[in-house]
Amino acid sequence: MKKHNFFAGPSILPQFTIEETIKGIQNFSDTGLSVLEISHRSKEFIAVVEEAQDLFKELLKIPEGYSVLFVGGGASTQFLMVAYNLLNKKAAYLNTGAWASKALKEAKLFGEVVEVASSKDKNFSYIPKGYEVPADVDYFHITTNNTIYGTEIREDLDVNVPLIADMSSDIFSRPIDVSKYDMIYGGAQKNLAPSGVTFVIIKNDILGKVDRPIPTMMNYQTHIDKDSMFNTPPVLPIFSALQTLRWLKAQGGVEAMEKINIEKAGWLYDEIERNKCFKPAVADKNDRSLMNICFVMAEGYEELEKDFLALATSKGMMGLKGHRSVGGFRASTYNALPQESVKALVEVMAEFEKNH
């Protein structure tokens, strides 16, 4: 049976990435060795890192003056590294979900933190609007896509302070104006690679402005100076990330991805709106994520939640169960998810409605 992978992360990867990674595990770059056992300082692996950095810059049109880093520790380690390196006196945070809340919590260890707005009052089911970012903060931090709650900031914000963005789950899903950000970071296990590597895009001149000493491994300058090779980087996930970047370029880049992602999300949201058995978890269409589409049973059908999940599972749908804090269902429609998987889910939803 054909499997349709809607897991939120780790999540679906392009088949090309999986196949090329298998080849690299068996024989990396014609060395006769596996990428699992190659030195990270070998010329063959350094070439992998350099090509991956170059493709990041090409696909996202990253301007001069930025560095692309590959580090370990996940986005959760970045929550504290951001504040360690950049928060001197005060920082501002937009609280739009679980990960934004965790980033804010870490920052409070290093200085004053202003929560400019929060959507916690409605279980993070919307993106706050009309807030003001204080002019005297060291930076403003946002989380662009909220995997648990299905909301997304799909525009590049204009603010007069350094802008920092966690783009773990929507990087490469749409074009972004990197020049509006001083730093973009994210765990790779949603739109890029297996878990284990974290990407950081950082404007070089934002560093060196805090008063505190920074431990060597926590200092972004360390990783810039050593070109992500200060310590052994996550070799296999970086190799897989390179394959995904090559695949993205072959698909037509982020512009082509955005067009496909809008189409996929449109099919699914239209069916959720049409189908009497379901309703969207996010009411405002402008706030809805293109990456994580959350929906629940409509009023009067709540007791059928397990029945729908059982039907979907029997049809090869994997990972549809919603996060425990929201309930219902979550279909993650990352770049690598084929259009046919979304169409298959829509058909299952229509079949369920017909049966009830």
Active-site residues, by number, are: 99, 166, 190
Going by DSSP bridges, is the β-strand pair 198-203/183-187 parallel, antiparallel, or unpaired?
Answer: antiparallel
143: nearest Cα among 111, 187, 112, 108: 187
Across 118-133, b (16+ Cβ under 10 Å) vs e yields bbeeeebbbbbeeeeb
As given in the structure block, the two tokens for residue 180 are 């509006």
Query: In whole angstroms, what is the distance from residue 146 CA to residue 249 CA?
Result: 26
132: nearest Cα among 114, 156, 111: 114
Residue 172 DSSP symbol:
T
Across 158-168, b (16+ Cβ under 10 Å) vs e yields ebebbbbbbbb
156: nearest Cα among 134, 132, 180, 184: 180
Taking each helix axis from N to C end, the angle separating 339-355 and 253-274, rounded to the nearest 10 degrees, works out to 0
How close are the terminal C-alpha atoms of the chain, in Å?
A: 25
CA angle in degrees (0–180, nearest 5) for 120-122-128? 65
Q: In 87-177, which residue ranges form alpha helices assigned H by DSSP?
A: 98-107
